[in-house]
Amino acid sequence: MPPKGKAANKPKANERECSPKQQPQQQQQQTSSSPAPAPTPTTIAERSALFTDESRPFESARRKSGIASLPRDAQAACIALRFARLPAPARNRLPPKSQRELWRHVNDASLPIRALKRNYDYGAAGGWSFERYADWAAKRTVLTCLEGASRVFREKRESEKRGGSDPVTGERVVLTQGEIDEERGRRREMAALRKELYGVVTGRLEADPEWDDVVPIPQEEPEGALATISYLGEYAEAISYLRAVMVKKEYSPRCLKLTETIIEMNPAHYTVWLYRAANIFAMKLSIPDEIQWLNEVSLEHLKNYQIWHHRHLLIDNYYPTIADDAEAVAAFGASERQFLQQILAEDTKNYHVWSYRSYLIEKFGLWDVPEELTSIETMIDEDVRNNSAWSHRFFLIFSNPANSTPGVAATEHDPAAPAAVVDREVEYAKEKIALAPQNQSPWNYLRGVLVKGGRKLGSVEDFVQGFITGLGSDGEDVKSSHALDLLAEIYAEKGDKKQAELCLRRLAEKWDRIRAGYWEWRKKCLETA
């Protein structure tokens, strides 16, 4: 028989071929045991988490199943990595040979020596894309460069103050206006970048190199104050610089500009107006130029009292310089009247304007300027109820030094009041009363003129009676309650208390019932007179 062939060696357990049914199952097991690939990061926070995991290669498996679940080579690498991350004194406790062996494992596996911090807080930037973060980082680099250039400017300014010299040329350090303007632009750019990158708002004055030498004095509220004032940032900064320059008693163009900035934000700030006036007087600036600026501000803030007080101060300071020049006084008075007419066209009953107008007449002696009386008559024609215009007319006529006695009050008889003037004003009042009998302004004016001229109220009784018909009868008709009031005074002046009482009673009962209490009081005054 032929010799048997040599039996083939049996395959080892790990070399046995898989049956067709077993092969897919083994591939599936291998696939399921291999770690799934990490998702591609799209934000800064995701990339940071990925880098953190890569810096801690065995931490996840060790915490989940323990170090014993790792393959032997992975166990050795994990132990070596923990050893490498120990402080040097702890590592040196091992023999040199053991240390070399451990370092060999670290190097062969290319293990990271340092572990990144977990859950690093990036704030809002954590959700940024890489492109957005790269743009932010580029702007941060620009800001850093600008800050460096700004430090060089500040150092040069300090050197200039000390009288220092340039180390290269040996010449004295002097900042040019071009360098200052360049630094001003640089700081504006820095302020914009700080706000964009960090949300930090830089004050306008803080960013201006012109104010580098001023240390602002902020508002200090007492601890636990019940009602602290919440200033806007820009206003609070301006006020803090104002305090600083006022403490130093500095009067300069920049301080004048600072007052203008604050007035734009708060035109009712009384102190800043006083400080502005002090700057103008200290620097001997042109008062007509200041008044021209003030005119524009006045038209924007019609009801502001501080504006008109500032104008008073300016005129008090300016008038002595032109008092001896009649033409200059007349020209300035005309320009002021023109402006007052312009502002009264916006607000015909502005108390501050009328008060200043009376002051101007008295200060510049404009009593007999025809245009002044004409303008008042025009305003009364346009609005016969404009009590301010009536009051100014009385002041203009009966406070005129040519028609008055010094020291005599406005409500007292003045022997110096010309009879012709009194007659003219009585007729003027009557004419306007006829236009609007129920308008109180001309009735009050008529009373004042009669008193100033020393004439009895009864001198106009016939005129007053023309507005009253059948007093006390069924056919009673009163066209003006003010006429009935004046008639009561006329009867009282003549001693006819019965008729005076009748006038007052009818006012209380029918013609002015809303002031019935007042008319009853007037009746009691008749009884005690």
Residue 37 lies in a domain: yes
Q: Flag whether pLDDT at 152 surpasses 90.
A: no
**Which one of 211, 241, 261 terminates a domain?**
211
Residue at 190: amino acid letter: M
To the nearest whole percent, how much of the chain has pLDDT over 70?
A: 93
Do 69 and 170 belong together in one domain? no
Q: What pTM, to 2 d.p., does this model score?
A: 0.69
Residue 263: pLDDT above 70? yes
Does residue 165 register a pLDDT over 90?
no
Residue 287 domain-assigned (yes or no): no
Asked if residue 158 is part of any domain, the answer here is yes
Q: How many of the other CB atoms lie within 10 Å of CB of 335?
A: 14
**Res 17: pLDDT:** 43
Residue 55 in domain:
yes
Same domain, 20 and 52: yes
- Is the residue at 284 inside a domain? no
Q: Which of 116, 109, 107 is nearest to 59 (CA)?
A: 116
Q: Looking at the predicted structure, is the pLDDT value of residue 23 above 70?
A: no
What is the C-alpha separation between 444 and 433, in angstroms, rounded?
Answer: 10
- Strands 468-469, 477-478: pairing kind: antiparallel
pLDDT band at 445 (very low <50, low <70, confident <90, very high): very high
C-alpha–C-alpha distance, residues 515 and 506, integer Å: 12
Cα distances (angstroms) measured from residue 75 to each of 51, 57, 91, 99, 116: 22, 12, 18, 16, 21
Please list, residue by residue across 359-387, b when 16 or more beta carbons sit within 10 angstroms of its beta carbon and e when fewer do.
Answer: ebbebbebbebeebeebbeebbeeebbbb
Cβ-based neighbour number of residue 456 at 10 Å: 12
**What pLDDT, on a 0 to 100 scale, did the predictor assign at position 36?**
55
Enclosing domain of residue 479: 463-529
Give the lowest-confidence range in 130-134, 231-235, 280-284, 450-454: 231-235
**Structural domain includes residue 151:** yes
What are the tens digits of pLDDT across the range 321-338? 999 999 999 999 999 999
When divided into structural domains, the chain yields a total of 3
Output 80 or 178, whichever has higher pLDDT. 178
Q: What is the pLDDT of residue 292?
A: 96
Helix (H) or strand (E) holding 478: strand 477-478
Residue 140 lies in a domain: yes
State whether 99 and 12 are in the same domain.
Answer: yes
